[in-house]
Amino acid sequence: MNLLSRLLKGIGGFILLMGCFSAESIDKRSKGDSPDISLPLPGHDGTVSVERALFNRMSIRTFSDVSLSLREAGQLLWAGGGANVDGLTGATRTFPSAGGLYPVELYLVAEKIDSLAPGIYHYIWKNHSLRQVKKGVFIDSIKTLTYSGAFRNAAVPACIVAAAVYSRTTSKYGERGGSRYVPMDIGGCGENIFLQAVALGLGTFIIGAFDDDSVRRVIGAPREETPLYIMPVGRR
């Protein structure tokens, strides 16, 4: 590689990196009144091995009434779709994604999380923070929109809702992107959250049966986002 192309590559990488962390690029949606909430930095060295987390993974559908910490909530969101290290292309994410297009958006429905007002929050993965979408208590509304009896009857301190922007992937891959790649991407994201919950000693399960439009409205997601997973999270 000659000197000029190396230089151009270096400048390109720098611009890409700046783009990843500049405030404007964080989220195209309008910011609410409240400032974004920085989450505690995610840990990268837990004490539970991947093998142990896989061995212990199972759906947990009943939780204690005890709140989650903000660190735990942030760790789950990071596992689901936070930034990880890739020196070549800038910040990549914790789940693999077809074409690196990352169609997934994560929402936290918080009811009992220490130091966090009840509400709906959008996870801003590029700077590991939460942007408040709505204030208030919404878990009961979400419960009534699912077809999961177990969830309806459980005490649930928080839920993570994973939604997908299909057009991010179909604009490059067409029908195959929508029917195959988006579900594969979101599967990786859901499994990451699941294994992280096990490693933190928390419980979760996946709900796929719910009224899509109503859940989208409750979490305040834009029309282009389709909610695909609801993951209630709590202490076992």
Ligand X SMILES: Cc1cc2nc3c(=O)[nH]c(=O)nc-3n(C[C@H](O)[C@H](O)[C@H](O)COP(=O)(O)O)c2cc1C
* Interacting residues toward ligand X by CB under 6 A: 58-59, 148, 150, 205-209
> Which residue lies nearer to ligand X by CB, 62 or 171?
62
Nearer to ligand X, 57 or 134 (CB): 57
CB of 29 to ligand X, least distance (A): 27
Question: Which residue lies nearer to ligand X by CB, 7 or 58?
Answer: 58
Residue with tokens 């979408």: 133
Minimal distance, residue 150 CB to ligand X, in Å: 5
What would the two tokens of residue 172 be? 């490059």
Q: How far is the CB of 186 from ligand X (least distance, A)?
A: 9
Minimum gap (Å) between residue 113 Cβ and ligand X: 23
Which of 132/148 has CB closer to ligand X?
Answer: 148
